[in-house]
Structures are given as structure tokens and as C-alpha cells.
Amino acid sequence: MGEVTTGQPNLREQRRVWSGVVAYADDMIGTARASSLVARLRRRRPGLSTALLDRVPANSTCAVLTDNPQGAATQLRRHGAHVHVVASTGSAAHAELTALAPFDLIVDERGRKNRVIRFRDAFFHLRAGGMYVVRGGAGESGAAPTKLAEYLNRAEHARAEPWPGRGRGIPTAALDAYGLSQAMVSFDVDGEDLVVTRGDFPVLAKLREDEMAQVLQRRNGRDKVLEVIPAAPFDSRCEFTENSPERRPNFHDHYDTIDLSLRLYHEAIAVPAGVLVVDNMITPDSYRHNQFKRLRNRATDEIAPRFAVLRTEGGEETPYLEGAYVHLDNEQRGHFGHLVTEQMSRFWSWQRAKELYPDAKALVAINKGRELRGWELEIYAAGGIPADDIVFTTGPVRVERIVSGTPMLSNPDYVHPAIQETWQSVGNRLVAGSGTDADLPRRFFCSRRLAKRSCHNSPDVEALFSDFGFDIVYPEDLPLGDQVRLFRNAEVIGGFVGSAMFSLAYASDPKQVILVGSSAYTARNEYLFAALLGHRIDSVVSTPDDPTTYQSPYTFNLADEGNYLRTLLDNL
């Protein structure tokens, strides 16, 4: 197998042949009708070659990407194949192909535009030994390789390169080239067509929320959507100010939100870090950032924009859990902030699942070596999930039945208004169980001990707040119930951005909030809380040491940011 190049057609011979066709047609049917007929003939591409059809098994399953059901689809049906004409494109085509996969043959008849994208999105739906045929793919650009050929050549070169790895900053193009190199056996030219053959390298289709709904509807099996809570668009109630000259991204004045689906799966593999695998799919429940352009989870390795593989395979030795379970695991389970924002945003699915399956258990898994912690169990219990109903796993498990719900919050993209009921009920139960009568300040500043995203001169910031009558607190030093009371009783809340401020979600009335952080901090959790609950946020941002790094430390400039903050505090 060599690199794909394309040959220059003999234009003089083509002109001679077509001149003869035009002259003959003119004599037989007249000039006007002849011109129309010849134009149609010029556009008509020769059918799939006999040699290629001989490689397609009888009763094979084929997909034709086309708007014309009379082309290769008709020829393949005559050959005895089961043919699916895929007229949709993009996300809808991915869902359709996922529902019907795997295929023995996929034929792309759509033309040159977006050809690489279609190949990248469809090729992995082939079974081992299957072929992807690009009609006209061998002759679209003369002597220079086509864009698709360049893409294939990059993958061929990657075959001899080491695996790019999993670290931050690795270009997705390198990951995709390596992924294709593992899944592709060969590519060659068949007449005017390009033929790429699939190897034995199983991959999984990554699915988004709407794609999963389409797949379940098309398959119409026992896996299904049990309930849908419609999207609930709303205008942000947060009055927001910041010292930056321009408003940074994702502080929206309006949120459209998304439909929330409660889904039932059978025989799913649950992998630590929140991944759910069903058949040939990674379900959308696996992705906490479910609106990102490219779905990712650290428990998987990227193969293509719409495909990945598990880092840890579930095989014949995978433990089997009988009965019904509720998926509450998370990519960052064991982290306080991610529990309050991401896992709590799935608590609604627990209540619904228990109504359907009273004996259901919550499923969570080990994460970075972290076992279940006391504060986690306390928050689960406040969400109506007692410790006796939690099953903790240390590796992949296959589950007889599992129920999973769309998160009500996905930072930084949306928050569903229905989550307010969860925030208030969890907060009420935490307060009821706190058992303390501690006097708590009405004005306080939440400081931070962690090195990541640290402020180099945090004592200066604390001193500035202290000068204006604020107590310096570390919320993690307080019982969870007292943390809720602290925020609910506050007049003004200051703090470094991050999880120490997340008890804003429990506040029963709007608060005035002053946030201190760097412009590298792109999370919007505090703003999402405020957008629903009506908190006012005055944000003071500093320049990070490394603007490209989300966790970058920074220095609070006492002259610039300091003067801005003093003005805010003076006007309280």
C-alpha cells in the first residue's frame, strides 16, 4: 500500500468521445434534446466496479451517503445487499449510522465538499474488513493528492510514530491521525473511486443528548427514554460587573437550557470516571461538558471527533451487577466542587428512578484512588440517597439495568431552573443535620489554601477585606450545615473563585457577592447560581502567570485591582 496520488485524465480523448456522442444524438433526437441528454450523461458517474462488488458479501449491510437513492444504492440492492440511504448529514447522520452499525460497505456519493469530515464521521462505523468507497475520490485534483488523500497519508505516516500520549496540549490532529492509523488497513484506487479498508480495531461512537434520543427511537428496543423534562429558557437575574474592559465569554444574559432526559439502559458497562458504554456507544451521560464541541472524558482515548476507546476495557471478567442502578458517578468524583455542581445536578434522576425501581441502588466508583468520604455521604443523604443505597465499585462493571439522567447544570453552558428545588432541599437537610448553634459572620471573605489557582499575595487581599469589616473564613473548616447557614444568613459574601463559593447555590434569597480571581479562570459556576437565584456579582480579575492555563496562579495588583476593590467595598 502506497500513498494515494491522482492521475491527469486524457482531456483530448475525452473531447473526441463526447463530440461523437453529441453528433450522434443530434442526428437521432434533435439538437435541443441532445444537449440536455448529453449534459445528464456527463454528470452520471460510472457504477461501482465489478471487482469491488465481488468484495462485497451477499446480504451485506451497506450505507450510501447521498441525496440520490437511484445511484449506488440501486446497484447494491441488485447485488443483494441491504442498503440504507443516509440523506442526513452531520450530527443526524452520526446518530443514524450509529443506530444501524456496523456496516460492510459505506459509499460516499456526495461530492468533494466536506468529504474529509464525512469520512472522519462515518469510516469507524464499518466492521473489520469493511470498505469505505469515495465516489470520484481518485480523480478530483489532477496530479496533486486530494484533501482526503492527504488525511489518509497523515494517518499512514502516524502508523510508524509512537502514540501521542494523554497529556494536555496534544494536538487533536495528532490524536486523530494515530487513531485512524490503528483502524485503517489499506487504501487504494478503484477506477475513479477511492477505497479505504477497515481494520480490526473496535471503537465506540460518542453520542450527544439529542443523538442518543434519535438512536434509541430508531432502535426501538428495551433501552429507551423514560421521561423528558422540557428545556426552560430564562433571562439571567444576575446583575454582573467586572473590572475587565470587555465582558468575558459565557456570562450570558439569556439561557435556552436543554431538554433533560431520563434514560434506561440494559447490560451497560459502567467505568470509573462516569463513563457508560452501551453496545457500540459511549452514552452522553459520560460527559459532564455535554455541550462542548468535542466530547471528552479522561477515562477514554480519542480516536476521532465522534469516536473514542476505553482506557480500561471491560471483558469477560467484568463483574456483573444484577438489578437496577442509578448512574451518579462523575469524571471528578470525590471533589467537593464537582459534587455540588455536577453530581448534584443528577439527583433528580434518583428520585424518578426510585419511583420506577424501589430497590434501585446508586452507582459510584473509585476515582484517582479516592474512596467515598464522609462529606460525600452527608451530601448524598441530604439528596435523599442513604449510604445503604450506594454501591461503590473499584473498576468496570456490567449492569443489568441502569437509569441515568441529563445533568441539570453543565458549566459553563447551561443550568435548568428545575435544579433550584434540589439546591433548596439539600440545603435544608444539611442545616437540619448540622447540630450547631455557632455564631456566624454576616460579612465574610472565603479564602483559599490550595496551590492551584492560588493568589500569590492572598494575605494582602484578606487584609483589604478585613479593613472593611469582613471576617476571613475557610468554609471547609465548618460542618456542611453551618456552611449553608453561613451563606444563607450573609449580607455580603466575598471570596476567591472556586468551590469555597459554591454554597451560593443554597442561598434562599439574593446575595451581594464579590469574586476575586484571574482571567484564566473560565468556569462559570458562581454565575450560573446567580443567574437563577438573583445574586449580584462584582468580579475582580487579575492577570494570570500563564493566560493559557486554567489553573494558573496570579498576583493581585494592589494598585489596579486594589483600587477597584476598595471602591466596591466603600460603596457597600
- Which tens digits make up the pLDDT trace of 451-494? 889 999 999 999 999 999 999 999 999 999 999 999 999 999 99
What pLDDT shows up at residue 1?
47
Predicted confidence (pLDDT) at residue 14 exceeds the cutoff of 60: no
pLDDT cut 90: percent of the chain above it:
80
| Chain centre distance of CA 49 | 40
Q: What pLDDT does residue 436 have?
A: 73
Cα–Cα distance measured from residue 346 to residue 362, given in angstroms and rounded to the nearest whole number? 11
Q: Is 369 exposed, middle or buried (0-12, 13-18, 19+ CB in 10 A)?
A: exposed
Would you identify the CATH topology of the domain 435-570? Answer: Rossmann fold (3.40.50)
- Centre a 10 Å sphere on the Cβ of residue 195 and count the other Cβ atoms it contains: 22
The DSSP 8-state label assigned to residue 571 in this structure reads T
Residue 31 confidence (pLDDT) = 60
Of 244 and 556, more confident: 556
Answer for the pair 81, 61: CB distance below 8 angstroms, yes or no: yes
User: What percentage of the chain carries pLDDT values higher than 70?
Assistant: 90
Distance (Å) of CA 428 to CA 421, 508, 543: 11, 10, 38
Phi and psi torsions of 184, nearest 5°: -105, 130
The candidate with the shortest Cα–Cα distance to 107, out of 181, 45, 151, is 45
According to the model, what pLDDT value does residue 5 have? 44
pLDDT value of residue 395:
94
Cβ-based neighbour number of residue 498 at 10 Å: 20
Give me the amino acid identity at 236: S
First vs last C-alpha separation in the chain: 73
**Contact 325/399 with Cβ under 8 angstroms?**
yes
CB of 501 within 8 A of CB of 495? yes
CATH topology of domain 46-198: Rossmann fold (3.40.50)
Does residue 140 have a pLDDT over 70? no
Q: Report pLDDT for 18.
A: 45
DSSP string across 454-514: -BTTHHHHHHHHHHTTPEEE-GGGS-HHHHHHHHHT-SEEEEESSGGGGGGGG-SS--EEE
For the chain, the domains span 46-198, 206-233+253-420, 435-570
